[in-house]
């Protein structure tokens, strides 16, 4: 009888379907907001950036926010991600930044609190700044993703050894170029 009981239990275990994972929404959309940063947001933006290892001052962030191209991600009215940006002139022939009338938007790396990592906030901040640049009729979005130039092909580097941020830019159709200041990621805003 004990053997029968054991085999019945095995049968029950085999027949039992594995528990299905339920999709949990990353954010309550009603509690999440992407908005343009203003001077009232500077102190909180600096706190987020410092917690993400950015070495910035309130004066520096205030100066950049005044351009009107920077965005923040808020959850329950608390800032959890910062994407600073400012207008610049990009020379597409030489692939360098120069002085001149702004035709491009420079994207600072997004700063996202560790608790909110992996929820797509960086992508949202990149797209929000691109959309704003298009609306203001800028032709390019760009950033330096690393100061270290890859040895060999840029394409091979991006495929094999790139960071998560570089992979994000690649997935958003940025082109990568070696320059005297590092590896430049650039996207034409059509």
Domain boundaries, the chain: 27-188
pLDDT tens-digit map of 58-76 = 999 999 999 999 999 999 9
Q: Kindly tell me if the per-residue pLDDT of 13 is higher than 60.
A: no
Backbone angles phi, psi at 90, to 5 degrees: -115, 125
Indicate the average pLDDT of the chain. Answer: 85
CATH superfamily of 27-188: Gcn5-related N-acetyltransferase (GNAT) (3.40.630.30)
Helix runs in the chain, H state only: 2-15, 42-51, 58-65, 121-135, 154-161, 164-171
- 41 contacts 65 by C-beta, under 8 angstroms: yes
User: Of all residues in the chain, what percent carry a pLDDT higher than 90?
Assistant: 64
115's CB contacts (< 8 A; 6+ apart) are 80
What is the reported pTM? 0.81
Backbone angles phi, psi at 75, to 5 degrees: -125, 125
Arithmetic mean of pLDDT, 152-162: 75
């Amino acid at each position: 009888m004990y053997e029968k009981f054991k085999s019945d239990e095995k049968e029950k275990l085999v027949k039992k379907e594995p528990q299905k994972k339920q999709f949990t929404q990353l954010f309550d959309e009603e509690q999440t907001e992407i908005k343009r940063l203003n001077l009232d947001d500077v102190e909180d933006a600096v706190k987020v950036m410092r917690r993400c290892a950015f070495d910035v001052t309130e004066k520096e962030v205030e100066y950049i926010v005044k351009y009107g191209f920077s965005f923040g991600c808020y959850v329950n009215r608390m800032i959890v991600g910062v994407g600073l940006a400012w207008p610049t002139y990009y020379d597409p022939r030489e692939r360098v930044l120069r002085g001149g009338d702004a035709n491009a938007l420079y994207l600072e790396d997004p700063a996202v609190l560790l608790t909110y990592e992996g929820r797509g906030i960086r992508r949202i901040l990149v797209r929000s700044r691109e959309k704003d640049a298009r609306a203001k009729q800028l032709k390019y979005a760009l950033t330096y993703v690393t100061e270290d130039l890859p040895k060999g092909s840029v394409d091979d580097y991006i495929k094999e050894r790139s960071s998560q941020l570089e992979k994000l830019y690649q997935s958003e159709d940025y082109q990568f170029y070696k320059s005297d200041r590092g590896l430049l990621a650039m996207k034409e805003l059509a």
